[in-house]
Amino acid sequence: MRAVIQRVSQAEVIIKNEKEEIRESIKQGIVVFLGIGKQDNEKDLQWLVRKIIDLRIFSDDEGKMNYSLSDIKGEILVVSQFTLYADCSRGRRPDFTYAADPREAKELYNQFVFMLEQDKLTVKTGKFGADMLVCMHNDGPVTLILDTQIIFAGKTQR
Protein backbone atom coordinates (compact mmCIF):
# COMPACT_ATOMS: atom_id res chain seq x y z
CA MET A 1 0.00 0.00 0.00
CA ARG A 2 1.11 3.49 -0.71
CA ALA A 3 -0.09 6.52 1.17
CA VAL A 4 0.75 10.15 0.64
CA ILE A 5 -0.10 11.94 3.86
CA GLN A 6 -0.43 15.70 4.10
CA ARG A 7 -0.92 17.63 7.31
CA VAL A 8 -3.66 20.19 6.73
CA SER A 9 -5.39 23.03 8.52
CA GLN A 10 -8.49 22.23 6.43
CA ALA A 11 -9.42 20.18 3.36
CA GLU A 12 -12.38 19.40 1.16
CA VAL A 13 -13.20 16.88 -1.53
CA ILE A 14 -15.82 17.60 -4.18
CA ILE A 15 -17.38 14.70 -6.05
CA LYS A 16 -19.43 15.60 -9.08
CA ASN A 17 -21.94 13.17 -10.48
CA GLU A 18 -24.79 13.64 -12.93
CA LYS A 19 -27.37 14.89 -10.43
CA GLU A 20 -25.50 16.65 -7.66
CA GLU A 21 -22.23 17.76 -6.19
CA ILE A 22 -21.13 16.02 -2.99
CA ARG A 23 -18.77 17.77 -0.60
CA GLU A 24 -16.92 16.34 2.37
CA SER A 25 -14.62 18.48 4.49
CA ILE A 26 -12.36 18.34 7.51
CA LYS A 27 -10.69 20.87 9.77
CA GLN A 28 -7.23 20.29 11.27
CA GLY A 29 -5.86 16.84 10.50
CA ILE A 30 -4.51 14.90 7.57
CA VAL A 31 -5.42 14.05 4.02
CA VAL A 32 -4.49 10.51 3.03
CA PHE A 33 -4.17 9.69 -0.65
CA LEU A 34 -4.34 5.88 -0.63
CA GLY A 35 -3.10 3.61 -3.39
CA ILE A 36 -3.53 -0.15 -3.23
CA GLY A 37 -1.26 -2.53 -5.12
CA LYS A 38 -1.76 -6.08 -6.34
CA GLN A 39 0.39 -7.55 -3.57
CA ASP A 40 -1.27 -5.69 -0.67
CA ASN A 41 -3.04 -7.61 2.07
CA GLU A 42 -4.52 -7.36 5.56
CA LYS A 43 -1.11 -7.07 7.24
CA ASP A 44 -0.21 -4.07 5.08
CA LEU A 45 -3.55 -2.55 5.97
CA GLN A 46 -3.19 -3.01 9.72
CA TRP A 47 0.35 -1.62 9.78
CA LEU A 48 -0.55 1.42 7.68
CA VAL A 49 -3.60 2.34 9.75
CA ARG A 50 -1.66 2.12 13.01
CA LYS A 51 1.26 4.10 11.58
CA ILE A 52 -0.96 6.91 10.29
CA ILE A 53 -2.83 7.25 13.58
CA ASP A 54 0.34 7.22 15.70
CA LEU A 55 2.68 9.37 13.56
CA ARG A 56 3.81 12.38 15.58
CA ILE A 57 3.54 15.09 12.93
CA PHE A 58 1.65 17.81 14.78
CA SER A 59 3.49 20.55 16.62
CA ASP A 60 3.57 21.07 20.36
CA ASP A 61 3.86 24.49 22.02
CA GLU A 62 7.56 24.62 21.15
CA GLY A 63 6.97 23.90 17.47
CA LYS A 64 8.32 20.33 17.65
CA MET A 65 6.45 17.47 16.03
CA ASN A 66 5.39 15.67 19.20
CA TYR A 67 1.67 15.08 18.74
CA SER A 68 -0.18 12.43 16.79
CA LEU A 69 -3.55 12.70 15.10
CA SER A 70 -5.12 11.04 18.14
CA ASP A 71 -3.41 13.48 20.51
CA ILE A 72 -4.89 16.52 18.78
CA LYS A 73 -8.22 14.82 18.01
CA GLY A 74 -7.63 15.65 14.35
CA GLU A 75 -9.74 14.62 11.40
CA ILE A 76 -8.88 12.49 8.37
CA LEU A 77 -9.92 12.83 4.74
CA VAL A 78 -9.21 9.63 2.79
CA VAL A 79 -9.04 9.78 -1.01
CA SER A 80 -8.48 6.68 -3.14
CA GLN A 81 -5.72 7.20 -5.67
CA PHE A 82 -4.67 4.26 -7.84
CA THR A 83 -2.30 6.58 -9.72
CA LEU A 84 0.15 6.18 -6.83
CA TYR A 85 0.99 2.86 -8.51
CA ALA A 86 1.83 4.42 -11.87
CA ASP A 87 5.04 3.16 -13.47
CA CYS A 88 6.45 6.04 -15.50
CA SER A 89 9.83 4.47 -16.24
CA ARG A 90 9.13 3.90 -19.94
CA GLY A 91 7.40 5.95 -22.58
CA ARG A 92 5.18 8.90 -21.88
CA ARG A 93 2.02 7.17 -20.70
CA PRO A 94 1.85 5.83 -17.11
CA ASP A 95 1.47 2.07 -16.73
CA PHE A 96 -0.88 0.93 -13.95
CA THR A 97 0.02 -2.78 -14.04
CA TYR A 98 0.98 -2.78 -10.35
CA ALA A 99 -2.30 -1.28 -9.11
CA ALA A 100 -4.76 -3.71 -7.57
CA ASP A 101 -7.90 -4.82 -9.37
CA PRO A 102 -10.60 -2.22 -8.60
CA ARG A 103 -12.87 -4.71 -6.79
CA GLU A 104 -10.08 -5.91 -4.52
CA ALA A 105 -8.78 -2.39 -3.99
CA LYS A 106 -12.23 -1.11 -3.04
CA GLU A 107 -12.56 -3.82 -0.41
CA LEU A 108 -9.20 -2.92 1.18
CA TYR A 109 -10.01 0.80 0.89
CA ASN A 110 -13.30 0.27 2.75
CA GLN A 111 -11.51 -1.79 5.43
CA PHE A 112 -8.93 1.00 5.79
CA VAL A 113 -11.67 3.58 6.40
CA PHE A 114 -13.51 1.24 8.80
CA MET A 115 -10.34 0.65 10.85
CA LEU A 116 -9.72 4.39 11.15
CA GLU A 117 -13.30 4.92 12.30
CA GLN A 118 -12.88 2.20 14.95
CA ASP A 119 -10.22 4.39 16.55
CA LYS A 120 -12.90 7.02 17.27
CA LEU A 121 -11.50 9.45 14.69
CA THR A 122 -13.57 11.71 12.47
CA VAL A 123 -13.11 10.22 9.01
CA LYS A 124 -14.43 11.66 5.77
CA THR A 125 -13.88 10.16 2.34
CA GLY A 126 -14.04 10.82 -1.32
CA LYS A 127 -15.79 8.28 -3.53
CA PHE A 128 -13.76 5.26 -4.60
CA GLY A 129 -13.01 5.36 -8.31
CA ALA A 130 -14.64 8.74 -8.92
CA ASP A 131 -13.14 11.87 -10.41
CA MET A 132 -12.75 14.30 -7.55
CA LEU A 133 -11.51 17.78 -6.85
CA VAL A 134 -9.44 17.95 -3.65
CA CYS A 135 -8.79 21.35 -2.07
CA MET A 136 -6.54 21.66 0.95
CA HIS A 137 -4.45 24.00 3.00
CA ASN A 138 -1.23 22.06 3.50
CA ASP A 139 0.06 22.94 6.96
CA GLY A 140 3.83 23.26 7.18
CA PRO A 141 3.96 21.97 4.54
CA VAL A 142 4.26 18.46 5.93
CA THR A 143 3.96 15.68 3.34
CA LEU A 144 5.00 12.07 3.99
CA ILE A 145 5.06 9.00 1.77
CA LEU A 146 4.51 5.55 3.24
CA ASP A 147 4.94 2.43 1.11
CA THR A 148 4.51 -0.88 2.91
CA GLN A 149 6.43 -2.81 0.25
CA ILE A 150 9.50 -0.59 0.63
CA ILE A 151 9.23 -0.46 4.42
CA PHE A 152 8.95 -4.23 4.70
CA ALA A 153 11.52 -5.10 2.01
CA GLY A 154 13.75 -7.76 3.50
CA LYS A 155 11.89 -7.78 6.83
CA THR A 156 9.59 -10.45 8.20
CA GLN A 157 8.05 -8.40 11.02
CA ARG A 158 4.70 -7.74 9.38
Q: Is 83 a catalytic residue?
A: yes
Which 3 state secondary structure label does DSSP give 111?
A: helix
DSSP state, 157? -
Give me the catalytic one of 83, 97, 143, 148: 83
CA distance 67 to 59: 6
CA distances to 48, 91, 106, 141 from 44, rounded to whole Å, are 6, 30, 15, 26
> How many CB atoms are located within 10 Å of the residue 77 CB?
25
Q: C-alpha angle 32/104/50, rounded to 5°?
A: 40
Q: Which residues are catalytic?
A: 83
